[in-house]
Amino acid sequence: MDFHPGGGEELMRGAGKDATKLFDSVHAWVNYEQLLSKCLVGPLRTTVTIDFSSNRNKSIKNNSSNNKLSKTTLAGPEIDKNSDNISASSTNSTPNNSENRREIVPRFDWIQKTADIVLTFYTRALSNPGMIVECLNDPKIYHIRVCIEDVTHLFKVTFCADVRWPCTVKLSSEAGKIELLFVKIEPSLWTTFGNMEREKITELDSKTFEYDVESREDITHDSQAVLLKSKEKVLMITPIGYHINITATLNGTNISRSYTPIPANFTSLNCTPNHIPLLVKSCGALSQYICRALPQPSQMKISRPMGTFQLTSVKNHRKFALLAAGSGLTPMLSLMDYLLKRNYNKIEVIQLLLFNKTEGDAWCRTKLDSIVEKEDRLIVRHILSSPSDSWTGETGLVSEQQLITLTDVKNPNHVTFIAICGPVPFNNLCSQYLREINFQPDNIHFFQG
């Protein structure tokens, strides 16, 4: 159940009947004969043991039973129902009842057509994985990093023949499934995909990747949408709500800062999977460097994605409030995008509260307005602290009364989960008010970085 993209509800549609047509309607592209052939262990045999010992023979003679054969059942390892992994060498492992703390070890599979090959990595439903694909100097050799929380699973893949760069990535955060499609340079059916080594990196992965600014556009008077592109053959997919650390050398000094990538549809720039899209406010040395026109910023070091947000924390909630001050909007965009598309336990409402100084400081206003027109479950509220005389919307700072109204069960749109991101004083104030109104801490997430 954990690994099926549609979940238990979708599987039950085929329960107790021939589900071939249902399977074909959803997975018409799957060569299931090839998949099932990999699962073949061999024909089932009944193993019998004959005891020829003299004592046993005597007892058999004196036994009224006519059975002279003793059947032995071949049993597999004991299965820990609380574990994702079954291993004959670890049958005495202690079950861990915490779903969120069970170790996630990606499972690997592959399938091919004449023209392409697909590598699939199964993590677990709602594991919110990230992915970094790196093509080395040889077109057959790839390093694939599956990032799950603070652990990196490194797969060193050597294909049996050359494939084209870039690959196509399909990542489902909800199902925890990652598919990488590689086009074969010479179409043919391979007898094997090649070979693979895997490594688990539990300490902070110090590997960085070099990126340049490729293009940008102004989005407000002091902010830009920026596209970063790797100088090498690297493709990075960031988990929902995670950030990356960018380091650049300015006047001989290394300066670092965290930025949260945004969904590609929140910028009008020509964003491909090879790009990392950012929204950057040109304040601070590194942000000013990224936003400068000429010379084009280059040779910036990008870390693997980092963060603490877990999709399991929101799986049982259907009414959300997202509180963002200034650039704190960025992690909310990927979370909002995911929640609106979520298939399991579909949401009822998202209230997005955006706190800015002036109307001109609001990011993505046109895009958000267009989503609201199509999506009645999204409510966007702009709250300004220094509005113009012509402003007719909400004004002021975040207040306890706002949070009381949001969480009041008498309110039809009362929320049960709140995500918050902004400057430290904003976060501290929200935390204080939520404590005072006794809102459950487990239903709050502060984005950091």
207 has binding-site annotation: no
Q: Tell me if 187 sits within 8 A of 114, measured CB to CB.
A: yes
How far CA 4 is from CA of 55, 135, 190, 247, in Å, comes to 54, 29, 27, 38
Task: Tell me how far apart the alpha carbons of residues 108 and 118 are, in angstroms, rounded to a whole number.
Answer: 11
Strands 130-135 and 116-122: unpaired
> How far apart (Å, rounded) are the C-alpha atoms in residues 168 and 299?
25
Q: Tell whether 124 is in a known binding site.
A: no
What are the C-alpha distances in Å from 334 to residues 63, 131, 245, 328, 330? Answer: 74, 16, 18, 12, 8
Distant-in-sequence contacts of 68-74, Cβ < 8 A, 24+ apart: 71/46, 71/47, 72/47, 72/48, 74/47
Q: What letters, b where the CB count within 10 A reaches 16 and e where it falls short, cover 219-249?
A: bbeebbbbbbebeebbbbbbbbbbbbbbebe
Q: By the 8 A CB rule, do 226 and 330 touch? A: no
DSSP of 50-115, one letter per residue?
----HHHHHHHHT-S-----EEE--------TT-S---TT-TTPPP---GGGS----EEEEEE-SS
Q: How far apart are CA 350 and CA 322, in angstroms?
A: 7
- C-alpha R_g of the chain: 27
CA distances from 361 to 261, 329, 350, 421 (A): 19, 12, 22, 16
> What are the two backbone dihedrals, phi and then psi, of residue 395, each rounded to the nearest 5 degrees?
-135, 165
* AA letter at 369: D
Q: Let me know: does 144 contact 155? Beta carbons within 8 Å.
A: yes
Residue 279 labelled as part of a binding site: yes
Contact 163, 203 (CB under 8 A): no
Task: Judge whether 382 and 354 are in contact, CB under 8 Å.
Answer: yes
Question: Which whole-number Å values give the CA distances from 359 to 290, 325, 382, in the listed order?
Answer: 24, 13, 8
| Sign for the pseudo-dihedral over CA of 439, 442, 444, 446 | positive
Helical axes 424-436 vs 400-407, angle rounded to 10°: 60
Q: Please indicate if the annotation marks 164 as binding a ligand.
A: no
330 labeled part of a ligand binding site: yes
281 is in an annotated binding site: yes
Going by the annotation, the residues of the binding site for FAD are 257, 259, 279, 281, 287, 330
Going by the annotation, the residues of the binding site are 257, 259, 279, 281, 287, 330
